[in-house]
């Protein structure tokens, strides 16, 4: 059998456009002499469609497109991912894979396991299938699976939560080739777990396994592709490129297709390359799929804005990125110098300097004349941040360029950010990177600058080495308010990504009790800010936003500590 893997980038809701993508893959597969073409999960609709799937006519359009593709397939067999209407069940749709050929639908499989954790809400829309599906094509008995059916939450390092095992049941029905259609979002290190799971399945059950994954980005989610084939016994036959659209035909019987896998070696040796590729794709996809071509951001001379600027320049081209320097009376000469150096090195389309000093003085005077006292302390610092946000949004509105937020996960966790100030933006590019990851990725970019297409290391060394500061008052540094980032990040990783409580963190790290409880209390306290934050590109197991729906008003009482979080917590921290 010659099998074509269609690693596609569908656009959610664009049924006609997605059908044309699939037709192009059919043409390619036919030209390559394939017997079978496999698409990704819900390729006709795009994944995740969320509540768009409820809109009148959407699923009906997918069903009509499926019939048209069956005619277009001719003698080629196509396994198509699509939704279909589910009659007389408590959920209105099935998430399905249909085998098409010669104008007919030869078989249909409905996804059986519906994830409802993290960012997934399949169980909101889709009724679970109840049967396996094994069909013979070109002399091979092929068993169909869809995404969670093969992973069973094992790829997200969660406890097994399903009684049904679609893999074992499908193999018991006599298949010798498992084909899994996927739309599984990127998380750092997740693909390595995918590889290990498929290797274990192929070795244990002595079957070939084909996994086709979506590529692209939707809102906060990034899809990395890297579709793979494993031979019986656990040897990998093929891996498609990461973060790229690709249709490739493989001869499953040939031993000549097995090659070295530089993509695998690169990913496993350089996790920073995964982060870089994912974030660049996330920015590019958000811009392209919202028909935006340009971006802007505030350049402070610090490490966070420098990293976001590099990622945006890689995603959109440096000529399409505008940097805005917004100095105050507290900004250092070195910070402005570093921002200018970054712009020059990257070759940004524009770099503007808009001082907020006069606006700040005017605001302070207006405040004082209103008879409510003088602006002091944190309130005064946040005014500066909001004045910057005001100017950045004005430029975004007048130019049509999307504003990129530059805060990192450590700051967002601690509320070390200002609502309607530095939190403003279309997307938060590094909002899922802890501060030490920001440093690691920045150093990696400078080390790998040539392979990334830069003529010189793009991030100024001073931006990496100088103490981080919001520069909102004299001689300010982040560590005036926050714990050392090395320690803070360890607490955040355990409390957010692993869901450990404070007691366990203290017990297993030996960190000071007051330090840990202070950090965890602030993480809970400032949830109200994150509810109003920009969309955060997801690269970690637990990302602030839709996949972590924590309450704003809560009180935790575990016997170890109590935390009460009201809805109207003062905006008591600073911009970064």
Catalytic center residues: 41, 111, 147
Tokens 């203290």, residue located: 506
* Secondary structure (3-state) at 318: helix
**Contact between 495 and 523 (Cβ < 8 Å):** yes
* Cis ω before 15 (30° cut-off from 0): no
Quote the distance between the C-alpha of residue 158 and its chain's center: 19
Tokens 């169980």, residue located: 123
Region of 251 on the Ramachandran plot (φ > 0 left; ψ -120 to 50 alpha; else beta): beta
Instruction: List the structure tokens of 171.
Output: 């193999």
**Contact between 214 and 223 (Cβ < 8 Å):** yes
**Beta carbons within 10 angstroms of residue 499's beta carbon:** 11
R_g of the chain, CA atoms, integer Å: 26
Buried/exposed code over 470-480 (b: 16+ C-beta within 10 A; e: otherwise): bbbbeebebee
Q: Which candidate, 141, 173, 48, 42, places its Cα nearest to that of 96?
A: 42
Rounded CA separation 244/222 (Å): 12
User: What angle, 0 to 180 degrees and rounded to 10, lies between the N-to-C axes of helices 485-492 and 435-447?
Assistant: 110
Tokens 């073409």, residue located: 37
For 160, counting Cβ atoms within 10 Å of its Cβ (0-12 exposed, 13-18 middle, 19+ buried), the class is exposed
The torsion defined by the Cα of 434, 440, 446 and 448, in degrees rounded to 10, comes to -120
Rounded CA separation 124/163 (Å): 19
Which helix (H) or strand (E) segment holds residue 136: the answer is strand 134-137
Instruction: Spell out the residues 6+ positions from residue 564 whose beta carbon is closer than 8 angstroms to its own.
Output: 554, 555
User: What angle, 0 to 180 degrees and rounded to 10, lies between the N-to-C axes of helices 502-509 and 513-525?
Assistant: 150
Strand partners, 350: 322
Rounded to whole angstroms, the maximal C-alpha distance in the chain is: 85
């Amino acid at each position: 059998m010659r099998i074509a893997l269609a690693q596609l980038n569908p656009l959610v809701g664009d049924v006609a456009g997605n059908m044309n993508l699939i037709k192009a893959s059919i043409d390619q597969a036919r030209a390559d002499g394939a017997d079978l073409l496999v698409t990704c999960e819900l390729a006709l609709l795009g994944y995740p469609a969320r509540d768009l799937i409820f809109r009148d006519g959407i699923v009906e359009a997918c069903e009509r497109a499926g019939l048209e593709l069956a005619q277009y397939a001719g003698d080629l067999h196509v396994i198509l991912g699509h939704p279909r209407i589910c009659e007389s069940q408590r959920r209105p749709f099935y998430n399905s894979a249909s085998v098409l050929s010669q104008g007919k639908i030869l078989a249909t499989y409905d996804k059986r396991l519906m994830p409802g954790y993290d960012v997934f809400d399949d169980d909101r829309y889709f009724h679970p299938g109840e049967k396996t599906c094994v069909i013979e094509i070109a002399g091979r008995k092929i068993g169909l699976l869809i995404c969670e059916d093969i992973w069973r939450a094992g790829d997200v390092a969660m406890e097994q939560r399903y009684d049904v095992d679609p893999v074992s049941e499908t193999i018991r029905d006599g298949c010798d080739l498992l084909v899994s259609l996927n739309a599984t979002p990127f998380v750092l290190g997740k693909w390595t777990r995918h590889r290990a799971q498929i290797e274990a399945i192929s070795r244990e059950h002595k079957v070939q396994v084909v996994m086709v994954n979506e590529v692209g980005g939707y809102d906060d989610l990034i899809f990395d592709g890297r579709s793979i084939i494993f031979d019986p016994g656990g040897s990998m036959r093929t891996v498609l490129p990461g973060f790229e659209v690709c249709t490739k035909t493989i001869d499953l019987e040939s031993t000549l297709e097995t090659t070295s896998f530089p993509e695998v070696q690169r990913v496993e040796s350089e996790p920073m390359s995964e982060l870089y590729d994912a974030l660049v794709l996330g920015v590019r996809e958000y811009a392209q799929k919202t028909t935006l071509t340009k971006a802007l951001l505030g350049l402070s001379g610090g490490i966070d804005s420098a990293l976001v600027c590099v990622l945006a320049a890689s995603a959109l081209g440096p000529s399409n990125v505008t940097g805005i320097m917004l100095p105050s009376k507290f900004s250092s000469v070195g910070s402005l110098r570093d921002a200018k150096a970054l712009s020059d090195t990257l070759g940004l389309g524009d770099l503007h300097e808009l001082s907020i000093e006069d606006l700040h003085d005017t605001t302070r005077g207006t405040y004082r004349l209103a008879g409510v006292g003088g602006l002091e302390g944190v309130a005064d610092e946040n005014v500066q941040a909001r004045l910057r946000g005001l100017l950045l949004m004005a430029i975004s509105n007048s130019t049509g360029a999307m504003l990129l937020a530059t805060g990192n996960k450590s700051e967002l966790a601690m509320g070390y950010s200002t609502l309607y100030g530095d939190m403003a933006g279309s997307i938060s590019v590094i909002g899922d990177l802890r501060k030490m990851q920001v440093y690691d990725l920045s150093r990696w970019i400078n080390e790998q600058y040539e392979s990334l297409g830069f003529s010189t290391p793009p991030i100024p060394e001073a931006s990496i080495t100088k103490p981080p500061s919001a520069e909102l008052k004299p001689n300010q540094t982040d560590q005036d308010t926050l714990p050392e980032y090395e320690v803070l990040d360890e607490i955040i990783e355990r409390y957010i990504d692993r869901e450990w409580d404070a007691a366990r963190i203290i017990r297993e790290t030996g960190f000071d009790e007051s330090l840990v409880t202070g950090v965890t209390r602030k993480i809970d306290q400032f949830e109200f800010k994150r509810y109003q934050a920009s969309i955060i590109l997801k690269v970690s197991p637990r990302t602030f936003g839709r996949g972590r729906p924590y309450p704003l008003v809560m009180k935790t009482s575990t016997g170890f500590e109590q935390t009460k979080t009201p809805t109207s917590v003062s905006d008591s921290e600073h911009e970064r």
